[in-house]
Structure formats: C-alpha cells, structure tokens
Amino acid sequence: MSAAVITLLIILCSMIFFVFEIVPVAITALLVILSLITFKILGPNDAFSGFSNNTTLLILFMSAIGEALFKTGIGQKVAKQVLKVAGKNDSVLIFAITGLATVLSSVSSNTGATLVLLPLVISTAKMYGKKPSHFLIPLSFGTAFGGILTLIGRAPNMIISGFAKDQGLAGFGFFELGKIGLPIAIICIIYMVFIGKKQLEDRPFQTEEVKGQFVVREEKQWIAVAILIGVIIAMVGINPISKLVGFNLTTVAMLGAILTVVTGCIDINEFFKSVSWTSIFLFAGLMPLGKAMQETGAARMIADFLITIMPSHNSLGIVVVLFLVGGLLAQFMSHTAASTILAPVFYMIAVTLNIDPHALLILLAISTGMAMATPIGTPPNIIVYGVGGYKFVDFVKLGVPMLLIGLVVSVILIPIFYPL
C-alpha cells in the first residue's frame, strides 16, 4: 500500500472520528500524529512540528487578548447598551444581537463572544416576554459572520494564512477576508431580520445550561481596548514594523498577550484558561497531515479527482464546486479540521490549473466559515443548541440559506478581487 493511500486512510479515519466524536477531537488530532509516525509517513520532528508553528502560537496569544475584553467587562458593557437601545421589537433585537455578535467575534474568540452575550440575550428576551430560541441562533450565526471579517476572527483563518506562507505565498492581510466576508455578513443579517426570523420556532428554554456572570475589572476596560487597538494597528502595518524591529504577527500577538497580564486585565491563570486547548491540539495535530498529503501525493490524488468533476476552464464553476466542498465538509466536522485538510488540496488544484492559489485559499476560508447548517458546525452552534432547546432542523432551515448566500457572493466577488 502506497504512502499516499495510507495518508488518505488516516484522513478518512480521522473524519469518522471527528463526525461521531468517538474520542475527543483533540485526542483524534494526536492519533493522527501517532499514525503518521507509526506508518513512517513523517519522522517525529515533522510530525510534532505543528506545536512550534507560528500559527499555533498566534492562536494561543490572541486568546488572551480576547479574554481581556471579557474579563474587564467591556464586551458586556457594549452589549448591554446595544440591547437596551434595541428595545422589544423582534426585528430590531435580532439585528442588534446578530450585528453585535458579528463585531465582537471579529476581534475575539467566537466561543468567548457567545458565552459573554448568552446571558445578556436570554435576560433581554425574558424581560420582554419573548422566547430565547428566537434570538440564540442569530447570536450564534453572528459570531460566524464575524469570523470571516478579519484574520483573527477564527482559528481556521490563521491556519490557512499560515499554510499560504509555508508555500511561499503572501499570508492574508488583517482585513483581507472582509472584502468577501463583509458583503456576506450584511446580506445574511438582512435575511435574518426579514426572513430568517419567521423560520425561528418556539423551543423550550434549558435553564440549567446557562452560565453565570463573572466578576469584571471595570477599571481596566480602556487598557484592554487600547491593547486590542494597538495589536490591530500593528498587524495591519506589519510589513514596516517587521523591517524596523523584526516582528511578525505572532510576535505582535505575544506582546499584546503579555501586556494583558502585566497591566492586570487578566491574571496568569485566566491567561491559561482563555486558551482553547482543543483548537491548539487540533491545529498542531493536523498541520503535519497537510505536509504528509503534499509529500506523499495524497493531495494530488484528491485534487485530480475534484478537477475531473469541475468545469476546469470555467472560473465560476471552479468557485462553485470548491465552495461547496469546503462549506459542506465543515458542516459535519470541525471547521478547523476541514480547513487544515483541504488547504493543500485547494493549493494543488490551483497549481494544476495554473490559477492564483491565494484566491482558492481565500475561498476555502470563506466557505468553511459558513458552517452554520448543523448544530456541530461551530462551537457557538453547539452552545446555543443545548441552551435554546433547538432541534437539528432549526439549524438546517436557517443555515442552508446562509451557505447559499455565501456561495452566490463568493461566485460574484472572488473573480473580481482575485482573477482566476
């Protein structure tokens, strides 16, 4: 059996493990490393290289900066004011909740944004005598929209950008995804306000799932905001900064994380608790799989198959097929895992068809960011699924239109911004 076939079997097994959660997803990622070493696909140094990768560290350090927004109460403060202004009109509330979640998750963890806004949204709904189930899916979907606006909006964006750099390409600019993601977010929010709200069912409220509020350090709020703004400015202007002091994105994020602790926005225990260790292990474990796919030819095999089923001389057809591949796979397994597995495949397709790899990697980031049509697509979906008492079909009814909106916008804008 060839190394390429073994690699594909490892991918297949990992996908089964991810979908059915046979073991925790972080353990599945470690089993991938073990399998690559056992079957001599990669040596130990290459198999464990994900733990020292710049992108892994970028995800880790940005977690602390996002946590500082929550622990100082700035996120809650903004949310309370927005919800207070929104009042009791359903459409206005849905617009406010979805928009607020979008903005907050664009600069912090989508899971953290969900947990911070969750009790505020529930209390607002109860205050006006409304069912929380009418507002929790808009909350979850809003965090997904925020994830496709910036480089740090979600871990897969940083993973795909890191992969691009590994191939000698330019990484994603801080707001680059927003060129495609912002129009998608705007249209999806409008859909949610005028059409989606009619598809939201009354569901029983599961009070035992709701997290309590925590003590905040209000006197540190503006320090946390200043750190975040400083990090964003530095990331946007990373090229001159790199020439001046040698910093890269990871160094900037590390400095920001250090400042959150030194200034007292969070303490060291909160720093460690802020990290999504599942995401860290997932990326570190699966990143070598991308290397294995390229070195063994497995990525080439998948790419060749996809090329046979897509209109390779039609740029719109390429975008449609690949968007659906990324978008549908991410619905049924971790969007982080889907992004990591598909990055080398999309890159190989671009090389084979002699088109801009950057364009297809942007497409991958957008498509996997639309993982909203199932309760398991993203962590926020899982959170509100239990609390809101939803059924699987609730996510399908609202998530499929979101996926289709993402597809249509991508088909129109990808060729404009990234000529294929």
In this prediction, residues 61-74 reach a mean pLDDT of: 82
Q: Is the pLDDT of residue 219 over 50?
A: yes
Average pLDDT of the chain is 85
Q: How far is CA 355 from the centre of its chain?
A: 25
Q: Which tens digits make up the pLDDT trace of 401-414?
A: 999 999 999 999 99
Q: How far apart are CA 226 and CA 273, in angstroms?
A: 22
Q: Which tens digits make up the pLDDT trace of 170-202?
A: 889 889 999 999 999 999 999 999 998 888 877
Contact 376, 325 (CB under 8 A): no
pTM of the model: 0.75
Find all residues with CB under 8 Å of 394, minimum gap 6, and list them. Answer: 133, 137, 199, 200, 201, 203
Domain count, the chain: 1
Q: Which tens digits make up the pLDDT trace of 287-335?
A: 788 778 878 888 778 888 888 888 767 888 889 999 999 998 888 767 8
Show the domain range for 356.
3-417
DSSP 192: I
Torsion of CA 83, 276, 66, 219, to 10 degrees: 90
